[in-house]
Amino acid sequence: MNPAISKCPICGSDLNIVQLHCRHCDTTIEGHFDFNHGPFGALTPEQMSFLLTFIRCEGRFTRMEEEMKLSYPTLRNRLSEVIRALGFEPSKDDTPPAPARPSADDRRRILDELSQGIITADQARRLLQGLDADAQS
């Protein structure tokens, strides 16, 4: 079954539901009915998919980065789009974006350098947290 659309694909006007039908008992009800999509009815399928992933990942962008193969700024922009589509304005937080976390290969290299004494524990910690790309000596 196809999902109901709420806008006319020709002119973009709101559509009205005028008939409801039960497939089980073959009952048909005619009249004028409102769409009741709730607050998420305004979201595009892509925005709804993003929102479901956000919920599944418990709002953790690091998990979403891995699952969706998207960068933190891209995920943040998509969240802002969803927030706007729901009728809100995203906060204009002046905090810097989360630091980029090293890849799995970079983490292994950092830990190898730590075990060989090439870098200190503090340097390794900062590198693993993505805080200081210049922490290596």
pLDDT at 4 over 80: no
pLDDT at 94 over 70: no
pTM: 0.49
Label each residue of the chain as H, E or C: CCCCCCECCCCCCECCEEEEECCCCCCEEEEEECCCCHHHHHCCHHHHHHHHHHHHCCCCHHHHHHHHCCCHHHHHHHHHHHHHHCCCCCCCCCCCCCCCCCCHHHHHHHHHHHHCCCCCHHHHHHHHCCCCCCCCC
The pLDDT tens digits of the residues spanning 44-84 come to: 889 999 999 999 999 999 999 999 999 999 999 999 999 99
